[in-house]
Amino acid sequence: MTARPAPPPESLAELAAGEAVAAMVAGRFGARDYAEALLAQAEDGAGLGAFQTLDPAHVRAAADAADSALARGEPPGRLHGLPIPVKDSVATAGITTTAGTRALASFVPQADAAIVERLKAAGAYVMGKTAIHELSLGWTSDNQAFGPVRNPWDPARIPGGSTGGSAAAVAARMAPLALAEDTQGSIRVPAALCGIAGFRPTTGRYPSAGTAPISPLFDQVGPLARCVADLQLFDHAIAGAPPLPPLPAGEIRLGMPRGFFFDGVADDVAAVVEAAFDRLRAAGVTLVETEIAGFDDLFFDVAMPIQMHDLGPSLRAWLAEVGAPVTFAELVDMASDDIAAVIRNFATPDAGGAVPEARYRQLVEIELPRRRAAVADWFAAQGVAAMVFPTTLVTAPRIGDLGPQAGSRELSFFTAIARNITPGSSLGLPGLVLPAGLSPARLPVSLELDGPAGSDARLLAIGATIEAIMGSLPRP
C-alpha cells in the first residue's frame, strides 16, 4: 500500500492543534511530517529569538516515537504527536532549563515539571524551550543575559513577557499550542501583543510544581494558542473537563468597568476595542456599563508585597527541588544588573524593601481573601459572566522603550502594559485574551475577559462565541 503524501509544510503549519491531532490520528500525515513542517517554520523565524533551546534531532526522535506508538495500535492521547514549545522556566527532563538567567545556562533537570508530565501523558512532547524575561521578572522578554525576543508583527518591538518566546512561536506558526506561565500577566501580555489567544486559568487549575516561581499564591501555568478550540483542547487534556459548547450570543452578559480599565487607553487601541464591542452588540451579546471598586491599590499594596516576600524563599525551594547546581546567592550574583537589583531590594533578608512578616500575614490571611470575596460578590450583583476590557492600553512598544508610553495621556510602562492584567491574577480569576483587531500601524489589539473563580470552562465557551464574532487575525 502506497503511503499518502503529506500536505505541503506551509499548510501543516497553519493547522490548529486540534486539527493536526485529528489528521495524525486519522493517518492523513505522520507526526514526523508535522514536526518537519514546524521545524521549517522555526528555522525561517529564527531571527525572532523565540527559542532558547531547540534540538531538531530530539524533535524528530519524539515525532518518530509518536508515529511508532500509533502504528503499534496504542490509543492516541488528546494531544497525540503535538510538539509543544515550553517556557524556559518550566523544568524539563534532559533538556536545558535556564529560567532565562546565566547561572542556569547549562542546567539540565533530571525530572519534568508536573505540567510537562501531564502533557506527555496526553501524547504531546517538548518541542523546545522558549526564551523568557529573566527569571520571569518583567513584561518585555528583552533578556539582558541571552538577548531579546522579537515580535513577529514588527521585530523592532517587544512580544510581551515574561513568556515572549512561546507567544512569538505560536504567532509565527512554529507551533499551534505552547506552554506559558503567568504570575502577573506573563501569559496574557504576550498573547495580547502578539495577536493570539491566551488563557490563565483559575489559580490551581493546572499544576505549577517544578516551574521556577515568584509566588505560589499567584503563579499559574497555562496555554497560548491561535484559537479558543485549542485552549479548550489543552484544558481538557490537563484538567480533564470536557469543553462546553459555545454559548449563544444572546445568553452572554459581560460587564465593562470603564473607570479602571479604560482610563488612559491609547486612541488607536480604543478604536479597535470599541469596534469589537459594536460587533458583539450587533451579534446579541449584552455589554453592561459598570464600575468596580478596590482595584486601584490591589497590585502595589496587596499583591506585589506578597510576591516580593515570597520570591526569595520560593526560588530557594525550587533550586533545591529541581537539583540546580547553584545556590540562591550565586543565582543573584550572576543575574543581570536590573534583575539582581529587584531581588536584592525585595527578596533578601536585609532588603530595604522587604515586607515585615506581620504585614505579610495580614495581607495573605485577611486582605487578599477579603478582596477575592468582594470580586465574587461583584460578579453576582452585576449578573455578568465576565468583565471585558482592553488587555493593554497601548500596542507593542519598541524594544528598549521602558519610558512613558503614549496613551490618551502619558502613561508609565507598567500602566500601559500591565495595569489591566494584574487584578485578575491577584484575585486568582480565570483570564482569557483574544485578538480584537489590528491598529492602523498593523499591530495587534486585544480584549481580555476575566470570569469568576472556577468558571474556566464557561469562560472558554464564551470565548469561543466571541472569537467567532470577532474573527481571527491574519498571519504576521
The catalytic residues are 87, 162, 186
What is the C-alpha to C-alpha distance for residues 71 and 327, in angstroms, rounded to an integer? 46
Q: What is the dihedral of CA 434, 437, 443, 446, to 10 degrees?
A: -30
125-130 and 83-87 beta bridge pairing: parallel
What is the C-alpha to C-alpha distance for residues 48 and 435, in angstroms, rounded to an integer? 21
Which of 10, 14, 22, 12 has its CA nearest to residue 473? 14
Q: Which residue has the cell 540546580?
A: 324
> Contact, 250 vs 287, CB < 8 A?
no
State the cell numbers at 270.
480604543
253-257 and 386-390 beta bridge pairing: parallel
What is the C-alpha to C-alpha distance for residues 113 and 90, in angstroms, rounded to an integer? 6
State the cell numbers at 199.
488563557
Distances from the Cα of 425 to the Cα of 86, 298, 299, 409, angstroms: 21, 11, 10, 26
Which of 91, 160, 141, 159 has its CA nearest to residue 119? 91
Residue 51's DSSP bridge partners are 130
> Contact, 348 vs 412, CB < 8 A?
no
- Cβ neighbours for 382, distance < 8 A, ≥ 6 positions apart: 255, 288, 290
Query: What's the sign of the alpha-carbon dihedral 330, 335, 340, 342?
Result: negative
Which of 269, 185, 252, 270 has its CA nearest to residue 387? 252
What is the C-alpha to C-alpha distance for residues 128 and 115, in angstroms, rounded to an integer? 15
Helices then strands, counting H and E runs in the chain, come out as: 19, 15
For residue 227, what is the DSSP state?
A: S
Strands (E), 226-296: 253-257, 286-290
Residue 177's DSSP bridge partners are 225
What is the C-alpha to C-alpha distance for residues 85 and 106, in angstroms, rounded to an integer? 19
- Backbone phi, then psi, for 373, in 5-degree steps? -65, -35
